[in-house]
Amino acid sequence: MFKSLLSKTPCSSSSLLLRKSISTTTQKISICQPHLLVSFKLNHNLTCFQHNNLSLLSSLTLTHYRTFSNITLPSNESPKDSVNVSFYMFSDIPNPSHLRDSLLSFWARQGIKGRCYIAKEGINSQITVPIDKKDVVFSEELRSEFPFLNSIYLNYSHDTSPGFQHLKVMVKNQVLADGNVEVNLENTGEYVSPSEWDKLLSEMKSESKKYLLLDVRNNYESEIGYFEDGGISAIRPNVDTFKSSIPVIKEILKGKEDHTILMYCTGGIRCTKMSSILKDSGFEDVKQLKGGIVTYLREIKKTSSPSKFKGKNFVFDERLIEEGSVDIVGKCHHCGDPWDEPTNCFSRSCNAIIVMCPNCRSKLHGTCGQHLCMDSVTNDKKPNVEQNNSSEASKDFSRRPHIKSEGLTLDEVKYPYLNNNT
C-alpha cells in the first residue's frame, strides 16, 4: 500500500489542491479549500494538479466530510430528528457550477444531507434536513444571490425517517433527462390542490365527463402504489425512464386531445415537463397534482377523508418508500404473492429495483433471481437477508386488503365513456 501523496502547501482562495491517496481497494481524492474539505471516491486515476474552482465536483460522488478550517462539517450519520424535503424549479441558471458550490458549502455547515442536480434548465433536489433547520434550507445570502430560490415550493414529506446519509450536489446537462425534446416550460398544466384533486377523481365516474388519469412515473414505482377511485385506476405506462415515457404516453393518448388529462408523479417535476409536452401536442386541458404524491399524502393525513392513493409511494432515497394506505397493490416478482416492499438486487453488477417478499429474497440470496446474479453472490459472501425477514416489513400482512393491479395501458383501464368508443 502506498502512502498518501500530500502536499503541505496551504491552499489559497484561488486554488484547490487535489491529493491522491492510493490503497489496495479504493482510490480517494481530497479537495482542500480554506473553508471546506470534501472526500470522495473515484473510479479512475487522477494525478495531482491544481484547479481554481469546484467544477470537477460535477462528476464526483461525495461520500463524507470532515472538519477543516473554521467550519465544522457534519459526520456521515443522518440527524435523528429530521425532515425530508424535496423541491424543483425550471429556471434559467447561467452558472450552475456557482450555485452548486454555494449550496454545497451552506448545506454542509447546516448538516443537510441529500441529492441535488443543477443544470442550466433548473434545479431538482431531495434532502434530509435537521428538524431545527427545516425553515432555513436556503440562507438569506443564497436567496439574494439566486432570487429564483424565493419562489421554490418546499415539499415536506410526512415521513420523518432519514432519507439520506450523504450529500451530493452535481451539475448535469438536464435535471430531468428528456432526450432533448423541445419543451416550452412557460406553457404547463394547471396545478390543483389535493382537495381539488379528490373532487376531480370523483368526477371521473360521471359519463358526462371525459377525464384520463395518468401516472407519469416509472413502472417500478406505479406497481406498488397509484391513484384509484371507484374501480377506475390510473393509466400506468410500462416504462423505466422519463425519456422513454414520452413517446409511450403520446401513443396512449393519441386521439384523446379533447379529454381532460389528470396527471401525477412523486413530487411534480415530471408532470411539469410532461404537461408542457402534451400542451404543445394539442392537449388544451391538462391538470397536475401540485407537489405530487408527497404533498397529497401529507395533506390527506390532516383530514378524516379516505386516501384515493392506494399502496405505497416509491421515493428515490434510502427509505425507498413512504407509507400511503394500508392496501397492498403490488406483488412479489418471483412468487406472485401480495407484497409492496421494493429492494435492490444484491448483485453489484445488477442492482435492479425489485419487489420481492422475504421468503423469495432469502431463497434467492437477496438477488433478482437471474442466474448471473445468483452466481455472483453465491460464489462470494451471501447477504444477511434473515435480518430483513424479522423487520416491520415482514410482519403478517394478511389483514391488509389487497387491490388487484389492473392495466398499464389505456385499453386496459375501465372508464365509463370509453365503452362507447367516444
Q: Are strands 16-22 and 260-264 parallel, antiparallel or unpaired?
A: unpaired
The C-alpha cell at 58 is 460535477
Rounded distance, CA 212 to CA 263, Å? 8
Note whether 148 and 242 are within 8 A (CB). no
Rounded distance, CA 337 to CA 327, Å? 14
- C-alpha torsion 282→285→290→291, nearest 10: -30
Classify 39 as helix, strand or coil.
strand
Position of cell 432519507? Answer: 163
Rounded distance, CA 226 to CA 293, Å? 9
DSSP code of residue 303:
S
Position of cell 379533447? Answer: 258
Rounded distance, CA 210 to CA 203, Å? 9
Closest CA to 211 of 188, 191, 235: 235
B/e letters for 151-164, b = 16+ CB within 10 Å, e = fewer, are: ebebbbbbbeebbb
B/e letters for 207-228, b = 16+ CB within 10 Å, e = fewer, are: eeebbbbbbbbbebbbbbbbbb
In degrees, rounded to 5, the angle at the alpha carbon of residue 177 between the alpha carbons of residues 174 and 180 is 85
Rounded distance, CA 289 to CA 383, Å? 40
98 burial (CB, 10 Å; 0-12 / 13-18 / 19+) is: middle
Active-site amino acid positions? 265
Rounded distance, CA 300 to CA 90, Å? 27
Q: How many CB atoms lie within 10 A of CB 404?
A: 8
Q: How many CB atoms lie within 10 A of CB 254?
A: 10
Rounded distance, CA 271 to CA 67, Å? 40
